[in-house]
């Protein structure tokens, strides 16, 4: 990506993270319930995109674990549910925030629901289809 956060013909939308991913990620205030095999945890979403999310937690699930996530829509009060896989996990004690990165099982319906959550939180400044 060129210097200055430029992508393509214009500046990066406010709140969008500068990363090399298939789908853009956006900083969010959402909370999430994440259910693994024998554990359920509640965490703060660090960033969210159509392809996955980062969850701040001191007790992340192990890399490779399957999980079900539930995100609360701040606008409607509804809930978005998805299946995901932990692609990386980081415990406390490093120079980076503890948590885990989860990748959603791809679904057009889920992608639209995620875009809706992001539009509710960020409004029209979010460059989503």
Range list of β-strands (E), 50-90: 52-56, 66-72, 79-90
pLDDT band at 17 (very low <50, low <70, confident <90, very high): very low
**How many other C-beta atoms lie within 10 A of the C-beta of residue 102?**
27
All domains in the chain, ordered by first residue: 31-124 (2.40.10.220)
pLDDT single digits (tens) 113-128: 998 888 888 876 656 5
- pLDDT at 53 > cutoff 80: yes
């Amino acid at each position: 990506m060129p210097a200055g956060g430029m992508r393509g013909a214009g500046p990066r939308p406010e709140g969008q993270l500068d990363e090399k991913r298939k789908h853009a990620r956006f900083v969010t205030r959402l909370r999430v319930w994440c259910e693994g095999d024998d554990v359920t945890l509640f965490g703060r979403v660090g960033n969210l995109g159509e392809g996955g999310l980062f969850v701040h937690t001191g007790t992340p699930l192990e890399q490779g674990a399957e999980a079900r996530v539930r995100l609360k829509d701040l606008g409607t009060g509804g809930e978005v549910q998805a299946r995901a896989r932990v692609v990386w996990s980081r415990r406390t004690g490093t120079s980076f925030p503890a948590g885990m990165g989860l990748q959603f099982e791809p679904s057009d319906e889920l992608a639209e629901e995620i875009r809706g959550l992001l539009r509710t939180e960020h409004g029209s400044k979010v460059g989503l289809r």
